[in-house]
Amino acid sequence: MTTFLDPADAMTPGAAPTQPRPSQAPRHGLLSPRSWAELLYTLVDLAPAIAFFVLIVTLLSVGLGLTIIYVGVPIFVFGLLVARFGGQLQRAMALAFLDLPTSPPEAIRPRKPGPIGAMVGVLADGACWRAVCYFVIKIALAPVTFGLALGCYAAGLGAVTYPIWRPYLPEQAASDGSLHRGTQWWPDYFVDTWPRMVFLAIIGLGVLWLAPRVVRFLTTIDRILIVSLLTGDTSRPPDY
């Protein structure tokens, strides 16, 4: 394999040969695998976020309501354990899709031997309560992230491919009685000519250029929440 040297290194006596730099794929952008992984994360993440929030809130509410007869204490503890398990699943998803390695929280330490001591250890475990806080925030963040990510990519792709599917749109009548087959932006303005379709495609390309960056911003918020609430060591923030 041929190695190319920098001319300055070749003229400098005793200089070490310069190693060729491998080409690096863009970290962000429409053609970046990382951007597509982040998009897949936003689409997959909505279902567990809703499921864990509903399950956690139900268990904690029922458990808190039944604590007066002591039956609710194990239910309440189980709700905290579900939140902690959901946090572990979220960390695994972040590692797989967002390339975010994190350290697990410390193990639950029973205060005393026996089931009572184990339940007290769960109730006093900070990681469980932080996981509850995470899913309370996540139930508001996940739908917004899902909607914006899907909307940006769908709108951009739809605008770029508009000339392909425009012939299948129903005809619409303008105020002068003429028929048009195309998207109507405002009264009597239909996107059914090539200059207008080209203009729409340019807008679509701009939206597609912006979409990975919007998803990146939203997943960065989630990264911060995961590192702050679901990990054991938050002294060193990871490379976002």
Q: Dump pLDDT digits (tens) for 86-118.
A: 999 999 999 999 999 999 998 888 877 878 888
Instruction: State the Cα–Cα distance between residues 151 and 149, nearest whole angstrom.
Output: 5
pLDDT tens digit sequence for 169-197: 888 888 888 888 888 888 888 888 899 99
Instruction: State the Cα–Cα distance between residues 221 and 240, nearest whole angstrom.
Output: 10
What is the pLDDT at residue 26? 52
pLDDT tens digit sequence for 43-70: 999 999 999 999 999 999 999 888 888 8
Q: The whole model's pTM is what?
A: 0.80
Question: What are the sequence ranges of the domains in the chain?
Answer: 30-173+180-229
